Amino acid sequence: MAIIAIIGGTGLTNMPGLTIERRQMVKTIYGAPSSPLIHGQLNGKEVIFLARHGRRHTIPPHMINYRANLMALHEVGVTHVIALASVGGIADDCEDKKIVIPDQIIDYTNGRAHTFHGAKDDTFEHIDFTEPYSASVREKLIEGCKAAKVPFVADGVYGATQGPRLETAAEIRRMENDGCTIVGMTGMPEASLARELGMEYGCCAMVVNRAAGKGVNGINFSEVEKNIGESVGNVQRVLAETLSGGVAH
Ligand code: HPA
């Protein structure tokens, strides 16, 4: 049976519309996850919700215990993960408030605990990461976007940066040359850790600002807040449609 988790990001520390049944504190050998696991129902579907930055949004991207988060979900039996993320738009079609379902990743992070392997005497396996996101979760998210009738882009390259500072204009130009279409700070190592644990993982990104050097007036944080607020409803509708389409089928 599929057990679905939603990892909520900036602007989605609480999941509007989620009926909470119970909160579960989990401790893994990597420590505690960012927040208790919230078991509940979203549009009548059982889901487990995890607030990536903590319940009060206090954990910056580089301090998130990604291993504990993914291991906690794995230990309670999660098979499918929908990762929600706020991102900057690099490509022209990744405008503010669009939803993007990326199909590729470039990892620019550094120094993060990025694998479950490496313990003494551990036998390790390489993972195939050619396609970093689950094809089936992506397909369901795309169907969800269509059904929800929200403006969206059906593919994209997520450039994962270290944060918590935003990028320089030159860094964004370099990322654009590399092929990145969106930029965020939490996409890695979340995606590869999910793969190491054999979980199907897809990302639903909402564009909340033009990336550095791409907008007309620089990055305006009150504008970012406004875009987040105005996108939450769209993300919620996409999730409702995605879940009613049956993520695991
Ligand atoms: N850069 C990195 N991460 C982000 C951005 C950005 O412009 N916007 C939202 N998350």
Domain assignment present for residue 249? The answer is no
For 140-163, what is the mean pLDDT?
A: 98
Pairing of strands 18-24, 45-51: unpaired
Pair 105, 230: CB distance under 8 Å: no
Residue 232 bridge partners (DSSP): none
Closest atom of ligand 1 to 219 CA is: 7
- Out of 162, 171, 208, give the residue to mutate to test ligand 1, the one with the largest number of ligand atoms within 8 Å of its CB: 208
Protein residue with its CA nearest to atom 6 in ligand 1: 88
Residue 204 bridge partners (DSSP): 84
Closest atom of ligand 1 to 89 CA is: 7
- Tell me the pLDDT band of 121, cut-offs 50, 70 and 90: confident
Protein residue with its CA nearest to atom 3 in ligand 1: 184
List pLDDT tens digits, range 182-236.
Answer: 999 999 999 999 999 999 999 999 999 999 999 988 898 999 999 999 999 999 9
List pLDDT tens digits, range 233-243.
Answer: 999 999 999 99
Ligand 1 centroid from CA 85, angstroms = 9
Residue at 29: amino acid letter: I
Helices 135-148/221-244 angle, 10° precision: 100
Protein residue with its CA nearest to atom 10 in ligand 1: 87
Rounded CA-CA distance 82/33 in Å is 16
Domain assignment present for residue 178? The answer is yes
Please name the residue that has the structure tokens 């050097």: 213
Ligand 1 centroid from CA 97, angstroms = 13
- Tell me the pLDDT band of 249, cut-offs 50, 70 and 90: low
pTM of the model: 0.96
Protein residue with its CA nearest to atom 9 in ligand 1: 87
Select from 2, 59, 1, 12 the least CA-distant residue to 31.
59
Select from 31, 4, 39, 213 the least CA-distant residue to 113.
31
Q: Is the peptide bond before 16 cis (omega within 30 degrees of 0)?
A: no
Ligand 1 centroid from CA 22, angstroms = 32
Pair 185, 169: CB distance under 8 Å: no
Domain assignment present for residue 106? The answer is yes
On the question of pLDDT at 11 being above 80, the answer is no
Protein residue with its CA nearest to atom 2 in ligand 1: 184
Domain assignment present for residue 197? The answer is yes
Ligand 1 centroid from CA 215, angstroms = 13
46 CB contacts (<8 Å, ≥6 apart)? 3, 4, 39, 40
Protein residue with its CA nearest to atom 5 in ligand 1: 88
Ligand 1 centroid from CA 119, angstroms = 33
For 97-118, what is the mean pLDDT?
A: 96
Domain assignment present for residue 61? The answer is yes
Burial class (CB in 10 A: 0-12, 13-18, 19+), 121: exposed
Domain limits for position 82: 4-244
Domain assignment present for residue 98? The answer is yes
Query: Which CATH number do you get for residue 209?
Result: 3.40.50.1580
Rounded CA-CA distance 154/93 in Å is 11
**Total structural domains in the chain?**
1
Residue at 152: amino acid letter: F
Residues in the ligand 1 pocket, defined by CB under 6 Å: 86-88, 161, 166-167, 183-185, 208-209, 211
